[in-house]
Structure 1
Amino acid sequence: MARRPTVSDIARASGVSVATVDRVLNGRLPVREETARRVYDAANAIGYHAAALIRRRIEQELPQYRLGFILQRPDQPFYQAFARELDHVVNAAERFRGTADIVHLDTQTPTEIAARLRETASRCRAVGMVAIDHPAVTAAVAEAREKGVPVFSLLSDFAPGIRENYIGLNNRKVGRTAAWLIARTTGQPGTPGRPGTTTRPGTASRPGTASRAGTASRPGKVAVFIGSHRFHGQEMREIGFRSYFREYAPGLELVETVVNLEDGDIAHEATLDLFRRCPDLVGLYVGGGGMEGVIAALREEGMAGRIVAICNELTADSRAALADDIVAMVIGTPLERLSRELVAQMVHAIENGPAETPGQIFLPFDIFVAENI
């Protein structure tokens, strides 16, 4: 019969004294959190019979935080995935006992957003939110700050100078990246790259090479979709998108920006109308929500390989569109890293107070094409 692990075994495995292990087990004197966790990890690893008791004692000493998260519509797969990741990160936290209070917005009206923020801030220690930039939202953020509840802007910035920090992508770079691919794959002169790699207008692909989405080499029109002009992040994507073409591919004509209100049905009809109005369309970037409707329209009209289409966030729809040559590239948000960074920043603000100079935390974005999904 195997010998049962003892307190001395835990002490050796964790590198602390027997007296320290005893304090952790019995809660007689305070022990640093790092030391207590090291003792628990050692006890759990060697199969100590009271490892669960050690964990409970550690948890009893941890602070309890209710963290609020206000996301966009619950029917959007991206925000469903975001909510799951946030819930997982909060529940798996080791430095505190947390509850993820997740709220989804049904509309984009400033009054609803402000009301939901006030409600959430009244019961949470900190709030992370995806929202438009509007004076009513800024006022609600200021109220929360005055009450000691820090508010973080996620994915799209708002209330600069009042919110705690922005955490998300560098949206101007996202827009320029989308423009870069369209310019490269339509072979426009002036596209930066290695000497000799830019395709001249009118030239064909190399003999024997397969054509991927939108590899046409011709001048034409390019369109960009956004959900709302009030989303600062989408505005920055549009700015980056347009600035790239002005600088490097002036031969492509950008049509008026299409606003789809983050709605798939509106995006679908707007895309079909765009095809009718612009038969020489060669590139399309969906800089916000509603990509499901755009993808559906591209499929219906048989646009695979004829238009360089780019969208944001890898979902079941965009993954299938990549595989079927409907979409050339998807720019993705690293949700796991974003959630971990956000929760860490929220806890830091709760425990240490607001930042003296709130800023922006940019995360690297993911690039998906047909060959890496």
Structure 2
Amino acid sequence: MQRITNKALAEAAGVSVSTVDRIMTGRLPVKRATVEHVLEIAEEVSFHGVGVIRSRLRTEAPHCRIGLLLNARTRRTFLDMADRAQATAESSHDVQARVITHHLTHPEPEATVAALVDLAQRCDVIACHCIDHPQVHAAIEDLNRKGVPVLPVISGLGCPAAPGLVGSNEIELGRTAAWFMSRLGGPEGSIGLVNGGTLFRNQWAEEEGFRTFLKEKGSRLSVLPALSSGECDIGAARAVSTLLGKAGSRLHGVFVIGGGLEGAVNALRDARRPDILVVGNELTSATRAMLKAGQVHVILEHPGLEIMDGAIMAIAEWATGAGEALAKKREFPFRILLSENC
């Protein structure tokens, strides 16, 4: 294949050869918008110096230290999200970013506030998946006054200082879970809900969507009061055991909102109840195997990796002067996984 010359690239991009030369050598400044345009054309025509052009953009990009607050590292989902945020930040040519991640051991107000304060001392901006609590609101408002804004991911916050969100449509997700439950769980019986706790706003929305759908459709399924997993497998197993004790043979389905899907399935296995329909959110190698084996019937997966991409993109826009970038709602569709497409 014939090598694309600087002249050919300049003609394709509609700029002068000297402009391309300045971009390639870095001797004289070129407007960022022009460099971005030339890069786009260079990628289209497979120009040999694409890497050099990208590096020019990155060298001139603003520096930004990004704090990332996520749930426990014992859940593979959040380790994968942290890795993706780091990789996305490193590959961005809009910002020279470094990601500092803090994994919470327990989703409690005091621990969450302490983690936010610690990250704020080392970072310019924070992206966080955390509980919605007055103490957390107060901390975020204080950080915002000090010039360290906070961007919620996955789960929103009822806090004026953090109005944005990068996540999914949780009402729609809950309604979709109810759709499957109403069709696969039998015409009547009891349905158990296991959530990660009472303080995750996205999980409130999922439960609301779930209950509202069944009510609208006149379903005879009885939804039991939600029990908490504490966002861990042990807690989810304990919750499912409680549901079995309360509902017995009338328990026809379990919707695991948030973490703990593996623990819930293990509890049903130990109780010898393979007849119970299981719908969950969490996709890991273990829950994927359970889905293929028919122990889990539907997984409505949060697109955690895409959400991290969206968060880094929003922060890059903010770092380059788009002050409203962190106040936007950015929605990524969840995925519906069955044994046949997982």
TM over 0.5: yes
Partner of 1:299: 269
Deviation at 1:90, TM superposition (A): 0.9
Deviation at 1:12, TM superposition (A): 4.3
Q: Is residue 2:220 matched to residue 1:251?
A: yes
| 3-state SS of paired residue (1:252) | strand
| 3-state SS of paired residue (2:29) | coil
| 3-state SS of paired residue (1:95) | coil
CA distance in structure 2 between the aligned counterparts of 1:358 and 1:140, rounded to whole angstroms: 18
Is contact 1:161-1:358 (8 Å) kept? no
CA distance in structure 2 between the aligned counterparts of 1:371 and 1:63, rounded to whole angstroms: 45
Residues 319 and 25 (structure 1), Cα distance of their counterparts in 2 relative to 1, 3 Å cut = closer
Deviation at 1:106, TM superposition (A): 1.3
Partner of 2:175: 176
CA distance in structure 1 between the aligned counterparts of 2:84 and 2:223, rounded to whole angstroms: 37
Whose helix proportion is higher, 1 or 2? 2
Q: Is residue 2:287 matched to residue 1:318?
A: yes
Is contact 1:127-1:150 (8 Å) kept? yes
**Stretch deviating more after TM superposition (250-259 or 281-290):** 250-259
Is contact 1:68-1:127 (8 Å) kept? yes
Task: Summarize deviations over 1:251-291 as a string: whole Å, max 9, x none.
Answer: 11222211121121122122123223322111110012111
Q: CA RMSD in A?
A: 2.6
Residues 180 and 6 (structure 1), Cα distance of their counterparts in 2 relative to 1, 3 Å cut = closer
Partner of 1:223: 192
Q: Is residue 2:280 matched to residue 1:281?
A: no
| 3-state SS of paired residue (2:216) | helix
How many residues were matched structurally?
A: 339
Deviation at 1:70, TM superposition (A): 0.4
Partner of 1:30: 29
Partner of 1:73: 72
Instruction: Give the TM-score normalised by the residue count of structure 2.
Output: 0.89
Alignment of 1:177-256 (within 5 A): 177-188=176-187, 219-256=188-225
Task: Summarize deviations over 1:168-193 as a string: whole Å, max 9, x none.
Answer: 122222212111111112343xxxxx
Is contact 2:211-2:223 (8 Å) kept? yes
- Quick one: which amino acid aligns to residue 283 of structure 2? L
CA distance in structure 2 between the aligned counterparts of 1:298 and 1:273, rounded to whole angstroms: 11
Structure 2 runs not aligned, ≥5 long: none
Residues 80 and 302 (structure 1), Cα distance of their counterparts in 2 relative to 1, 3 Å cut = same
Is contact 1:164-1:355 (8 Å) kept? no
Partner of 1:103: 102
Partner of 1:344: 313
Residues 240 and 37 (structure 1), Cα distance of their counterparts in 2 relative to 1, 3 Å cut = closer
> Of the candidates 224, 229, 245, which is equivalent to residue 260 of structure 1?
229
| 3-state SS of paired residue (2:123) | coil
Alignment of 1:40-119 (within 5 A): 42=42, 45-47=46-48, 55-119=54-118
Residues 357 and 10 (structure 1), Cα distance of their counterparts in 2 relative to 1, 3 Å cut = closer
Deviation at 1:59, TM superposition (A): 3.0
| 3-state SS of paired residue (1:256) | coil
CA distance in structure 2 between the aligned counterparts of 1:252 and 1:114, rounded to whole angstroms: 40
CA distance in structure 1 between the aligned counterparts of 2:53 and 2:320, rounded to whole angstroms: 25
**Stretch deviating more after TM superposition (345-354 or 138-147):** 345-354
| 3-state SS of paired residue (1:268) | helix
CA distance in structure 1 between the aligned counterparts of 2:239 and 2:24, rounded to whole angstroms: 65
| 3-state SS of paired residue (2:98) | strand
CA distance in structure 2 between the aligned counterparts of 1:166 and 1:101, rounded to whole angstroms: 20
Partner of 2:332: 363
Deviation at 1:57, TM superposition (A): 3.9
| 3-state SS of paired residue (2:127) | strand
Partner of 1:200: none
Deviation at 1:13, TM superposition (A): 5.6
